[in-house]
Amino acid sequence: MKKITYLGLFLLLSSFSLVAQDTDPVIEAMIKEANDNSHLQGLGHELMDIIGPRLVGTPQMKKAHDWAVSKYGQWGISARNEQWGEWRGWERGITHIDMVYPRVQSLRGTQLAWNPSTSKAGVNAELILLPTVTDSLAFAKWLPSVKGKLVLVSMHQPTGRPDYNWEEFATDKSFTKMKEERDAQTKAWRANMRNTGYNSRTLPAALEAAGAAGIVTSNWSRGFGVNKIFSARTKKIPTVDLELEDYGMIYRLAESGQKPRLHIVAQSKELGTVPTFNTIAEIKGTQKPEEYVILSAHFDSWDGGTGATDNGTGTLIMMEAMRILKKYYPNPKRTILVGHWGSEEQGLNGSRAFVEDHPEIVAKVQASFNQDNGTGRVVRLSGGGFLHAYDYLSRWLNAVPDEITDEIETTFPGTPARGGSDYASFQAAGAPAFSLSSLNWSYWNYTWHTNRDTYDKIIFDDVRNNVILTAILAYMASEDPETTSRVKSVLPVNSRTGKQREWPTPRTPTRKGGLD
């Protein structure tokens, strides 16, 4: 709530959208098209189910870029893939993980991204736990015992039930006890990790150097059956992530001296160095073609799931909005450009490269709208620190149906982002860029960067709501007789340092990634 005090204006839009008039024929037609002839499900199926996850440097990412260009082509919108860099090329293959001793059970897990392939026969080895050590010397002494073994490097979670489930069913006493015990266990786990002289990032490489056969992790995301899946930190041996239930079982078996063994087949292909792209599509402006309204969503994803809500849904919103705009607003006043950015997940690289490579466009951005926090309907919109954002954003929002704007809480002037998603790249360059921020639908635990970020989690009604919002905002921004103001607000004093906060500055993208 602190925000409100120094940001001044803070209100619900419903107060002024009461006077909204939805009589503009273009707006009426766009709403009708979004509702009665939605392409969202078909696009979602093609992108998530047929193409699949879109990790930078993979053939699937390239396939997605080509697919988007061809879709735009079918809709009569000119589109292109713009290369901005290079990445380590890699392709995921089959991962199969089985416990083979003391009994046979197939386990649910996957190889982490950019992990080199095992042989076809795979790795068959005993599992061991990290020791409890007093210092790095003791750990160094233990280290040779990993030779030929699979090492379990994540803490054994005391419960696979998320806290909300405990809250609903446990007695208060029992819930409190579980949390206290888990906190103590977590603290002890971290202290022991410090004692080894390594951390969770540096440990896998040390184990690999000492001759371990592989690394087994479980990066639980605090929901039923859900883990976060990122990249491997070993260069030769397999690193796999197991779902909590299976990880807990083999951990307990190792702990009780049962000497469990796993058979891991984790195949993948190294594809050398490959080019990385942004897909750019545009509907040329007829009166002010050199001014731009930019629709924005990153195209890449992690690959534990299919990137359905991060950022498949943002992608669908922008594609569907473009399709509808082209159909009912084919001759916009200003150019409407959409950016499907590559490699957002590794540091906003595609959008930072675009900002760096196209200063002439960035200087003439009328407005940019980015969506990247899940499948939910938009419920928050901030002025991003632009002093006069209220004037134009509220004018444009006025044209959006009340049932959409009633849900949106606005903050003006707001503050510029320092990261998080691609609008930050534009704000840093002073371009009026805004985040269409969604209702979370358990995003942070259940879908964001997880093995459960899949098609079934998409809430198509909410995505359709966002398509209508985006298309109308783009239309209104394009038609506005006035060019938007870029005046920046004076940012508040940082209460920690006592210094005036400064506007973020553009950052250089990583143009050659994953190749070290």
Contacts to Zn ion by CB under 5 A = 310-311, 372
How far from chain centre, in Å, is Cα 318? 16
Choose between 282 and 372: whose C-beta lies nearer to Zn ion. Answer: 372
Q: Which is nearer to Zn ion, 311 or 343 (CB)?
A: 311
Q: How far is the CB of 425 from Zn ion (least distance, A)?
A: 13
Q: Are 368 and 321 in contact (CB under 8 A)?
A: no
Closer residue to Zn ion in complex, CB, 311/489: 311
Smallest separation, CB 452 to Zn ion (Å): 15
Q: What is the identity of the amino acid at 431?
A: A
Buried b (16+ CB within 10 A) or exposed e, 157-175: bebbbbbeebeeebeeeee
Q: SS3 of 86, please? A: strand
Q: Which CA distances in Å does 322 have to 330, 361, 478? A: 10, 19, 13
The CB-of-373 to Zn ion minimum distance in angstroms stands at 7
CA 396 to chain centre: 28
243 versus 310: smaller Cβ distance to Zn ion: 310
Contact residues for 169 (Cβ-Cβ < 8 A; gap 6+): none
Our CB check for Zn ion shows the closer of 267 and 311 to be 311
Query: Helix, strand, or coil here: 449?
Result: coil
What is the distance between the alpha carbons of residues 69 and 66, in angstroms, rounded to a whole number?
5
Query: What Å distances lie between residue 450 and 56, 92, 282, 292, CA to CA?
Result: 16, 16, 32, 35
Closer CB to Zn ion, residue 157 or residue 351? 351
Nearer to Zn ion among residue 86 and residue 310 (C-beta): 310
CB of 470 to Zn ion, least distance (A): 16
Q: DSSP code of 37?
A: S
507, 500 Cβ separation under 8 angstroms: no
For the CB of residue 57, give the shortest distance to Zn ion in the complex, in Å.
17
Q: Is the dihedral of CA 178, 182, 188, 191 positive or negative?
A: negative
Q: How far is the CB of 421 from Zn ion (least distance, A)?
A: 6
Nearer to Zn ion, 394 or 438 (CB): 438
With a CB cutoff of 8 Å and minimum separation 6, the contacts of 17 are: 397, 398, 400, 402, 405, 406
